[in-house]
Amino acid sequence: MEIVVVKLIHVGSVLLSYLLFFMRGMWMVQSSPILLKRWVKIVPHIIDTVLLLSAVLLAWLMSLSPLQHGWLMAKILALLAYILLGTFALKRGRTFGIRIACLIAAQFAFIYIVWVAVTHLPFPWMSLLSSSS
């Protein structure tokens, strides 16, 4: 399979996954009954499975190892944080305040993951510091 096709599938599933997470977050804030719909519980798992499989395939096709590429390890660790924060934002947060805090923190984790993916730097803000001098 062409790397370009896998990358398009990966980026597309990233967008779908994030948009659905954001919508679920907004529904949580509004206490919407939409969150209880069957498709809302199933579709994210399907999209996230495609996302994960495309990520693994892309890394394999490009011969990338998280042990050799710090930026990839940073993405994986940030993804785990994003998943944990998302779980607390949408399900496990005991109070509304905890859910909101986790929802906001998950947004920052997502931004970081995308920033690392674009720059291939585990500390992408360092590129801002070095480019200003």
Q: Which residues contact 44 (CB under 8 A, 6 or more apart)?
A: 17, 20, 21, 24
Q: Where are the domains of the chain?
A: 1-63, 66-125
Closest CA to 102 of 92, 114, 116: 92
Burial 87-96, CB ≥16 within 10 A → b, else e: ebbbeebeee
User: In tens digits, what is the pLDDT along the chain, a chain of 133 residues?
Assistant: 699 999 999 999 999 999 999 999 999 999 999 999 999 999 999 999 999 999 999 999 999 998 899 999 999 999 999 999 999 999 999 999 999 999 999 999 999 999 999 999 999 998 777 765 5
